[in-house]
Structure 1
């Protein structure tokens, strides 16, 4: 069912994280977690290819016998001997990277990994998909034994790399953001167009590769995205045990819930009379599996945001806009790329901003009050300041009553606000406080401050 594409053109930031871990010489394993199909296995293989003579890789999803063989190891020497037998190659200290993939299938191997870490002669990378409770034992791995990193779909900068956008232009985006100064009109239009392609294709490496390898065929992209969604549904059936039907119902409801004017997830979408408490663990399963991004409602935009966050009032975004669009009508993808004026893309662009923010900080919040209105996101910068963010898809991006209300409420101590839209950089004021109008493609800059079938379509992105 899985399509096979070459991913030679896909450059990922995680490679640098792996390189820094390797250079540190710390006696820790590297645990890479994340949703299915985000490129975990690929990036580890790339890392091994560049920095090691050999790779001793075991995939526990594909090799169940290896789980039993390795879990019975008595010490590091025994583990390495058994691993050599399984891989059919010597495991040489300093020359061989040990890679244990799909570790969620073998939770009892924690002890064996400790052997290797304590022994210190071998560099060990562990990778696993965050499927419900399967990875929780590894998240509680004793401090000092493991460095835990999370893999996401490509962000906009990584997507730009895949499209051969010069780094100098990406640097220009950051500099323009820092200076709150717009890029020249021609470059702004090209970057806005490229961002729309990014939203339509998404950041799943296989979907991006399909786009490149098929000469820009959006049908191929949609096919890959649809396959990944089906894989997620299969994972729910396999790992969620007795609650699989309920979890599947939640997962399938996300696109339609986001398409509503009020995007807050409504329990009656699942079942008439449904209450949150009965489905709380089902939502948690999907969040743990990293296939949805929860954004919790706060009643006050004050620090700490968690203080007034309401766990039963939230919006659920997809982990990737390409996966979201694959569940809408095929024309929607084309409309996003064309920036069709007759279509409201608010939910899709909000999803893209949620992705960008969650790459740096998993805690997402939005503000909603019957008196003040609703603001799409409340982000906390590294300096502690709270910044309300509105995401606009149309020409009326300067209409934002709720944002004005927050700036005008002195008790909230909000110093500035941000509106993300297709427009270039501009500044306005409310109550003497700046409202920054920024292009959507600068969402990753904000984040860095917070820690069916449809014809053949070959659509090339803007060139640079």
Structure 2
């Protein structure tokens, strides 16, 4: 599979001021695969170690953090020396060994000629739980975030290289050819079914069997809950599970606001806040806060008490919601609400994967709401999300009249278009092109 992070790793490999690289992302998003694939293609030798499978590694990193000793011991363990310049050292599931995370500082300072790459599934949780004797090597590592495949990577996985190239080079003022729109809409709806986890996508592409896709998704959801047991405290696990399973129902409410009391009767925010933060730190969910005034910097105007929760993968949300795959293509009013939720989740994950790190949403009283607000330079951009082709939007019109943004975005299944009036410009972008938003605005 073509993953865009590969190009970033190439730049890292050849950088004169290289630091150890640390890839974080949810389990099953492809971290191990990309590091092994990269190592095989770009180095003569791979020294791969997994802290989840080999308890002896804890002992190696449990003593002093002299990196010369560490690579000597690791070489003995694998019966082959680790040689800077020709070997890439891969430390997988590094969150299990906080001392190994700390050691990255000393690899940076004392052995910069060795290419060191680490990966972890629950790094946010691990860092938060680090004790006094260990520390995160701030400034001594290059942290890369890895996500499930986004839509353009999904196209490439489907061997649609030419179609991807066409979209990637399309002029911002040029409509998508009608020859391709049907194919792109079908691929988009397939993505709503599968999401972007590589194992699920591979199953769909190789077998075209929804049953196998949903079996894979159920296994992954089950493995995530096993992580709750493995990495959280005994008292925390029930609350994590309650919040995890409550998310689809919370999104199905009219205002979609996450309400702690709706997770379980009798529970309050103070009972569940730490568990919610655990899931956020693990990267499994995204917290999207309301913004009251879309001014710069946007972070200063967020309401931390009013927020929505989405999944990090739209396919898992669909599966968790028990929304049948065969009605994702349905346009019936009976399925409209859930299709709308999936579409919002899709747009959010595309924004985050394309470096819009903190989207918000805007709400004015009970009469108007814009799905996402992103800051790009000096622009605060409202984004209205529509699941089909009907793009009438009173909320976006209300926002534009009130704030007159330079550009407002409406994303749906309609083609590219631009409209201007006294309140600024409205940019129409197809859902399957939202990954190019930065270029368009």
Task: Normalising by structure 2, report the TM-score.
Answer: 0.92
User: Does the CA contact (< 8 Å) of 1:28 and 1:147 recur in 2?
Assistant: yes
User: Does the CA contact (< 8 Å) of 2:374 and 2:381 recur in 1?
Assistant: yes
Counterpart for residue 209 of structure 2: 217
Q: 1:428 to 1:55 in 2, by over 3 A?
A: same
Counterpart for residue 221 of structure 2: 229
Counterpart for residue 268 of structure 2: 275
Deviations 1:212-246 (A, max 9, x none): 232x1121111111111111111112212132211
1:260 is aligned to 2:229: no
Counterpart for residue 311 of structure 2: 318
User: Does the CA contact (< 8 Å) of 2:242 and 2:264 recur in 1?
Assistant: no
User: Does the CA contact (< 8 Å) of 2:29 and 2:147 recur in 1?
Assistant: yes
- The whole-number CA distance in structure 1 between the counterparts of 2:81 and 2:416 is 57
User: Does the CA contact (< 8 Å) of 2:156 and 2:164 recur in 1?
Assistant: no
Number of equivalent positions:
432
Counterpart for residue 129 of structure 1: 121
Counterpart for residue 80 of structure 1: 71
- The whole-number CA distance in structure 1 between the counterparts of 2:209 and 2:187 is 15
User: Does the CA contact (< 8 Å) of 1:13 and 1:158 recur in 2?
Assistant: yes
1:115 is aligned to 2:89: no
Counterpart for residue 460 of structure 1: none
Match of 1:44 among 35, 45, 50: 35
- The whole-number CA distance in structure 1 between the counterparts of 2:95 and 2:212 is 30
Deviations 1:114-159 (A, max 9, x none): 333322332100111125531345994131x211101100011111
Q: Which shifted more, 274-283 or 100-109?
A: 274-283
RMSD: 2.1
1:301 is aligned to 2:297: no
- The whole-number CA distance in structure 1 between the counterparts of 2:149 and 2:135 is 23
Following superposition, the deviation at residue 416 of structure 1 comes to: 2.5
Q: Which runs of 5+ in 1 are unaligned?
A: 1-9, 451-464
Task: Normalising by structure 1, report the TM-score.
Answer: 0.88
- The whole-number CA distance in structure 2 between the counterparts of 1:74 and 1:363 is 36
Following superposition, the deviation at residue 449 of structure 1 comes to: 6.9
Counterpart for residue 192 of structure 2: 199
Relative contact order (alpha carbons < 8 A, sep ≥ 6): 1 or 2 greater?
1
Match of 1:57 among 23, 35, 48: 48
- The whole-number CA distance in structure 2 between the counterparts of 1:240 and 1:434 is 48
- The whole-number CA distance in structure 1 between the counterparts of 2:39 and 2:210 is 32
- The whole-number CA distance in structure 2 between the counterparts of 1:421 and 1:261 is 21
**What is the SS of the residue equivalent to 2:328?**
helix
Counterpart for residue 351 of structure 1: 345
Deviations 1:86-135 (A, max 9, x none): 22322122221111110110001244333333223321001111255313
Following superposition, the deviation at residue 172 of structure 1 comes to: 3.2
Counterpart for residue 142 of structure 1: 138
Following superposition, the deviation at residue 52 of structure 1 comes to: 1.0
Counterpart for residue 420 of structure 1: 411
Q: 1:108 to 1:135 in 2, by over 3 A?
A: same
Counterpart for residue 146 of structure 2: 151
- The whole-number CA distance in structure 2 between the counterparts of 1:292 and 1:448 is 27
- The whole-number CA distance in structure 2 between the counterparts of 1:15 and 1:263 is 36
